[in-house]
């Protein structure tokens, strides 16, 4: 296999340095997504499917994840 003028050690070093940065970014995005989901649940814009517990729109008649019919909100 051709290395196309790239250094194997350089690639390893780049991955070693940028890997943790990517991990931190992924954790921050995940935490932000959870906070946004919690806020939407509290605001009444979203609710959890009673069958699969995935978050769906409050007006949904059918769950987009499991396909179950969802009873209307009172």
Structure-block tokens of residue 29: 């995005």
- Kindly state the average pLDDT of the residues 2-26: 87
Domain ranges of the chain: 8-43
The pLDDT tens digits of the residues spanning 18-66 come to 999 999 999 998 888 889 889 999 999 999 999 999 999 999 999 999 9
pLDDT value at residue 34: 86
R_g over Cα of the chain: 21
Between CA 4 and CA 23, with CA 16 as vertex, the angle to 5 degrees is 120
Give the residues across from 56 on adjacent strands. 47
51, 66 Cβ separation under 8 angstroms: yes
55, 41 Cβ separation under 8 angstroms: yes
Say whether pLDDT at 1 is over 70.
Answer: no
pLDDT value at residue 2: 60
């Amino acid at each position: 296999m051709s290395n196309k003028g790239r250094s194997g050690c350089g690639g390893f070093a780049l991955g070693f340095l940028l890997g943790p940065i990517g991990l931190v970014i992924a954790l921050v995005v995940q935490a932000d997504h959870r906070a946004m989901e919690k806020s939407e649940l509290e605001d009444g814009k979203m609710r959890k499917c009673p069958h699969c517990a995935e978050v769906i729109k409050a007006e949904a008649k059918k769950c987009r994840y499991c396909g179950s019919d969802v009873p209307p909100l009172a």
